[in-house]
Structure 1
Amino acid sequence: MSIVTKHNIKRLLAVLLASVIIALNINTFVQTGGLYPGGVTGLTILLQRIALRYFGIHLSFAVLNTLFNLVPVYIGFRYIGKRFTFYSCVCILLTGVLTDLLPQYVITYDMLLISIFGGIINGFAISLCLLADTTTGGTDFVAIHLSRSKGIDAWNLVLAFNVMLLATAGLLFGWDKALYSIFFQFATTHVIQVLYRRYQKKTLFIVTERPGEVCEALYAACHHGATVLHGEGSYGHGEKNVVYTVVSGDEGRTALLAAKSADPDAFINVIKTQELSGLFYQRPTD
């Protein structure tokens, strides 16, 4: 079996598992607590509840969710990757169908537990897809596109967008559910930021006596270039070489080990990069 085939099987399994988890999460924690997950899913649930309460109409989650994902899917096909978007479409459709078919089940009525653990489960399912080079759809496409085109961590922007969604839900259905939904969404976002770090950036400052070997090791491991800075030690006033490079968040450990293998005596400082402007190699998404 080829490496490509194995990768595609892993992606499909990740999509299937994530779809089941999301559907179960919606029909247990989200529906029991009357919460709004945010993004396209939250918008779908909000419109479902508006139609049911004010018009007495039950709308299909699968149909609404698919319609709301049309624009994000277009962004995915055009700017991110066709195969990436294809698997995302499988996740969108499967999640919608399972949400409509699976029965609702109450685990607990404690709103705090519902908000926190529901958000953690939701974040885990989304991260599962992202780590398999696909997504659950909706605002994930927008966040990835902004991260790639602007070089920033866009998940906090997605959280800010969701707050506006919750303001509408609060006005129509009461502020208690909307406020608890903020806990849900915050937990989701935090889990994603912890588990999925590809579009975050890390900066490495490497003080070394072997700058050439370190640069070659970094390029071989991460395909990132580096800049060699010449400095002076404050204690012995000797000449120092500092290799400066920026890598993706999920490459930080790989870059650190590569530098240490090239120079075991190197002094390395790794810091989180808040924002990046300029040319930066990003592993392509198929």
Structure 2
Amino acid sequence: MSLKNRTDTINWKQVLKLSNLMQTIIGCALAVLAMRGFMIPNKFLDGGITGISILLHEVFHVNISLLVLVLNLPFIYLGYKRIGKTFAVQTILAVLVLAAGLLFIDINPITTDRLLIAIFGGLLIGTGVGLVLRSGGVIDGAEVLAVFTKRKTGFSNSEIILLFNALIFAAAAFQFGLETAMYSLITYFTATRATDYVVDGIEQYTAINIISAQQEAVKDYLVNELGKGITVYKGERGYLPGSFEIKTDCEIIVTIVTRLEVHQIQNAIMGIDNKAFVYVQSIKEAAGGILKAKAHGHS
């Protein structure tokens, strides 16, 4: 099946998968708790559609659940056009659950401490957004906007989202005062970190690149002692200042590990060859190979 056919067909098995539905419901429940119990009563904003919804709710007194639903509709359409029908259906489901929660659930303000509101409101909504992302949808259309405008503007996703949110917080500063806008920034950055942690998890993958004179010992350690998969590139080393013309063939050993394992492996490699050149790269996602095998075996 081609990529186009996959995006043109709704994968109902994925949409109705129990784990995805549970993550969507729990994620939306946490977002409702954050918005009703922390953010809305104190005029604190998050970024994206959530922030715009709270801003318009406070200024024009429009029902917050209606705003969340209506403002997300154009982005659901963009997601349908650019990402696929399955994503659009899962996003519609998540937005409907969130809107229903905001409509029917009323929570008294949990605390009046502005710093606690900013931190815990951000943690809750960020965790909620992350759970919905893991299920395959979103509850905020700003991410879809970034994907849609990236090719047209030449800016990266993060730059587009940053500009989008800067406008929201500027409006918050004008409407609610600079102090509330600054606390809202804390909410936003806390939410962003919480979302990243939920999506990437404790097992966020990292690439370790190793160039060593003791390459066979390094490979033996990684494969036979740690149970890792490795890839070996053929390269050249040398080209140093003062001896540019001197170069030698070498092997560049690459392995994918979790961030919890990086320090252990770096120390072990230095024990094998204290002159080894090691550099670490963060990677957004990894799949296949024996990534999961190591999680159940060597740790």
Structure 1 residues 271 and 159, CA gap change in structure 2 (3 angstroms): same
SS of alignment partner, residue 169 of structure 1: helix
Tell me the residue number matched to 2:293: none
Residue 34 of structure 2 contacts residue 120 of structure 2 at CA under 8 Å; is this kept in 1?
Answer: no
Aligned length: 249
Structure 1 residues 90 and 148, CA gap change in structure 2 (3 angstroms): farther
Give the Cα–Cα distance (whole angstroms) in 1 for the partners of residues 162 and 231 of structure 2: 33
Give the Cα–Cα distance (whole angstroms) in 1 for the partners of residues 154 and 218 of structure 2: 27
Give the Cα–Cα distance (whole angstroms) in 1 for the partners of residues 85 and 77 of structure 2: 10
Tell me the residue number matched to 2:235: 229
Q: Does 1:50 align with 2:59?
A: yes
**Can you list the C-alpha shifts for 1:30-80, whole angstroms capped at 9, x where unaligned?**
12321112211111111111113xxxxxx2222222221122112211222
Identical columns (%): 21
**Can you list the C-alpha shifts for 1:222-281, whole angstroms capped at 9, x where unaligned?**
9x997532446x9xx975311468xxxxx7539x99xx9xxx98979452359x9xxx99
Q: 2:179 aligns with which of 176, 180, 186?
A: 176
Q: Given residue 187 of structure 2, which amino acid in structure 1 is its aligned partner?
A: F
Residue 232 of structure 2 contacts residue 252 of structure 2 at CA under 8 Å; is this kept in 1?
Answer: no
Tell me the residue number matched to 1:240: 250
Give the Cα–Cα distance (whole angstroms) in 1 for the partners of residues 279 and 132 of structure 2: 27
Tell me the residue number matched to 1:119: 122
Give the Cα–Cα distance (whole angstroms) in 1 for the partners of residues 101 and 232 of structure 2: 48
Measured after TM superposition, the shift of residue 96 of structure 1 is 0.9
Structure 1: runs of 5 or more not aligned:
53-58, 214-220, 246-250
SS of alignment partner, residue 106 of structure 2: coil
Aligned-residue Cα RMSD (Å) equals: 4.5
- The structure with the larger Rg is 2
Give the Cα–Cα distance (whole angstroms) in 1 for the partners of residues 197 and 117 of structure 2: 21
Give the Cα–Cα distance (whole angstroms) in 2 for the partners of residues 22 and 189 of structure 1: 13
Measured after TM superposition, the shift of residue 117 of structure 1 is 1.1
Give the Cα–Cα distance (whole angstroms) in 2 for the partners of residues 241 and 169 of structure 1: 54
Structure 1 residues 161 and 171, CA gap change in structure 2 (3 angstroms): same
Give the Cα–Cα distance (whole angstroms) in 1 for the partners of residues 147 and 115 of structure 2: 30
Structure 1 residues 125 and 105, CA gap change in structure 2 (3 angstroms): same
SS of alignment partner, residue 66 of structure 1: helix
Measured after TM superposition, the shift of residue 171 of structure 1 is 1.1
Counterpart mapping for 1:96-175 below 5 A: 96-143=99-146, 154-155=157-158, 157-175=160-178
SS of alignment partner, residue 109 of structure 2: coil
Q: Given residue 141 of structure 1, which amino acid in structure 2 is its aligned partner?
A: V
Q: Indicate the larger mover: 37-46 or 142-151.
A: 142-151
**TM-score under structure 1 normalisation?**
0.69
Q: Indicate the larger mover: 95-104 or 124-133.
A: 124-133
Q: 2:209 aligns with which of 205, 210, 217?
A: 205
Tell me the residue number matched to 2:36: 27
Give the Cα–Cα distance (whole angstroms) in 1 for the partners of residues 141 and 100 of structure 2: 16
Tell me the residue number matched to 1:84: 87
Residue 209 of structure 1 contacts residue 241 of structure 1 at CA under 8 Å; is this kept in 2?
Answer: no
Residue 91 of structure 1 contacts residue 137 of structure 1 at CA under 8 Å; is this kept in 2?
Answer: no
Structure 1 residues 252 and 75, CA gap change in structure 2 (3 angstroms): farther
Give the Cα–Cα distance (whole angstroms) in 2 for the partners of residues 146 and 210 of structure 1: 48
Give the Cα–Cα distance (whole angstroms) in 2 for the partners of residues 268 and 78 of structure 1: 45
Residue 173 of structure 2 contacts residue 179 of structure 2 at CA under 8 Å; is this kept in 1?
Answer: yes
**TM-score under structure 2 normalisation?**
0.66
Measured after TM superposition, the shift of residue 206 of structure 1 is 3.8
SS of alignment partner, residue 272 of structure 1: strand
Tell me the residue number matched to 1:253: 258
Give the Cα–Cα distance (whole angstroms) in 1 for the partners of residues 28 and 237 of structure 2: 53
SS of alignment partner, residue 69 of structure 1: helix
Residue 123 of structure 1 contacts residue 187 of structure 1 at CA under 8 Å; is this kept in 2?
Answer: yes
SS of alignment partner, residue 28 of structure 2: helix
Q: 1:11 aligns with which of 20, 24, 48?
A: 20
Residue 166 of structure 1 contacts residue 178 of structure 1 at CA under 8 Å; is this kept in 2?
Answer: yes
